[in-house]
């Protein structure tokens, strides 16, 4: 009855609104449940302890943070995880970016075999990461020792089995795996550079390297910034494929923060008594990662290359 009085324009608007609400309600609901609720719950959990027999949680004050200090900091585990996480981050994010950007430039400039390199680098990404790690493990555990034996007659341990080369092997794997994605992104970003800029620079006599430094890098810098900023968060979440390499019991000297969190949750997936401490640890990571990310963003904005 009321609708009869509405103008055609209003009706159209209402229909559009209804469509918009229908479209957006599900993602908003998902965001509210799986982000807002989960994070609030995780925050609350960090200050609680759980009683398995009464199935209830009660306020625990700072106990979970004290437990983190006693179990992780005092024992030195935290320092080892920090060191390993930073090593993985430096190699895969910082040095990885440097290598990937040079390589991308090589491909972008259509240098010899650039398409072949692009295919070789990106090929692993169409295979499941678990399958890829299994293949990689076979390579370092079987192929490398066999090759060494054939060449030298000496029987050596697999690179992953040997404690002296175990971590290096894992870091190399992370670097190799991260490379393909980065190269793809940078090449795409470089492909968007206006060809006339490059041509004008060439007329002015710019060299191959100078073009890279003064034109290409500044123009793809926003993409680079994205990788660096998301990489900071990964210091606390990247498990470096360790679970796929060694399951739940990788030697402690190789643990990263991401691996520790993942494995503890795996081991205690139904043991709710362990969850509060893990929530507290997650909260601590957030407190460190957030300002670090903002600081990095400010630094990159202030000191990064300018397009002008």
Using CB under 8 A, pick the residue from 34, 62, 102, 142 that binds other proteins: 142
Structure token pair of residue 37: 């609720």
Binding piece for other proteins, criterion CB under 8 A, among 119-127, 195-203, 270-278, 299-307: 270-278
Decide: is 52 part of the binding site for other proteins (CB under 8 A): yes
Select from 225, 182, 184, 198 the least CA-distant residue to 109. 198
Using CB under 8 A, pick the residue from 20, 31, 113, 138 that binds other proteins: 138
Structure token pair of residue 300: 């990159």
Decide: is 134 part of the binding site for other proteins (CB under 8 A): yes
Binding piece for other proteins, criterion CB under 8 A, among 23-31, 40-48, 101-109, 152-160: 152-160
Using CB under 8 A, pick the residue from 202, 273, 287, 294 that binds other proteins: 273
C-alpha 13/C-alpha 23 separation (Å) is: 15
C-alpha 19/C-alpha 22 separation (Å) is: 5
Which residue(s) pair with 48 in the sheet? 59
The secondary structure element, H or E, covering residue 50 is strand 48-51
- What single DSSP character describes residue 152? H
142 vs 134, 157, 159, 179, CA distance in Å?
11, 9, 9, 24
Binding piece for other proteins, criterion CB under 8 A, among 70-78, 107-115, 281-289, 295-303: 70-78
The 5-24 contact track toward other proteins, x by CB under 8 A, reads: --------------------
Decide: is 244 part of the binding site for other proteins (CB under 8 A): no
Choice between 47 and 179, CB closer to other proteins: 47
Contact positions with other proteins (CB under 8 A) in 168-207? none
Q: What are phi and psi of 204, to 5 degrees?
A: -75, 0
Radius of gyration of the chain (CA): 26
Structure token pair of residue 241: 């494929």
Interface residues with other proteins (CB under 8 A)?
52-53, 55, 67, 70, 75-77, 79-81, 134, 137-138, 141-142, 145, 155, 157-158, 160-161, 163, 246-249, 251-253, 255, 267-274
């Amino acid at each position: 009855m009321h609708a009869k009085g509405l103008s055609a324009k209003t009706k159209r608007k209402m229909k559009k609104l209804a469509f918009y609400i229908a479209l957006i309600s599900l993602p908003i609901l998902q965001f509210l449940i799986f982000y807002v609720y989960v994070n609030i719950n995780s925050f609350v959990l960090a200050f609680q302890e759980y009683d398995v027999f009464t199935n209830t949680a009660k306020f625990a004050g700072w106990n979970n943070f004290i437990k983190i200090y006693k179990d992780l900091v005092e024992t030195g585990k935290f320092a080892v995880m920090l060191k390993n996480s930073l090593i993985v981050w430096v190699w895969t994010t910082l040095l990885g970016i440097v290598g990937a950007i040079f390589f991308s430039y090589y491909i972008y400039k259509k240098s010899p075999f650039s398409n072949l390199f692009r295919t070789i680098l990106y090929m692993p990404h169409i295979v499941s990461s678990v399958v890829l790690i299994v293949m990689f493990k076979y390579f370092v555990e079987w192929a490398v020792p066999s090759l060494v034996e054939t060449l030298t007659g000496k029987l050596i341990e697999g690179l992953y089995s040997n404690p002296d080369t175990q971590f290096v092997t894992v870091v190399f794997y992370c670097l190799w795996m991260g490379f393909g994605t980065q190269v793809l992104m940078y090449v795409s970003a470089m492909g968007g550079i206006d060809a006339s800029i490059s041509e004008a620079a060439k007329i002015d006599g710019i060299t191959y390297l100078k073009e890279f430094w003064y034109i290409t890098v500044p123009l793809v810098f926003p993409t680079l910034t994205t990788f660096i900023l998301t990489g900071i968060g990964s210091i606390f979440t990247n498990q470096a494929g360790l679970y796929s390499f060694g399951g739940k019991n990788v030697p402690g000297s190789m643990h990263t923060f991401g691996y520790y969190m993942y494995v503890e949750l795996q081991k205690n997936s139904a043991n709710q008594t362990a969850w509060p401490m893990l929530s507290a640890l997650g909260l601590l990571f957030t407190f460190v990662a957030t300002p670090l990310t903002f600081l990095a963003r400010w630094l990159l904005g202030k000191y990064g290359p300018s397009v002008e």
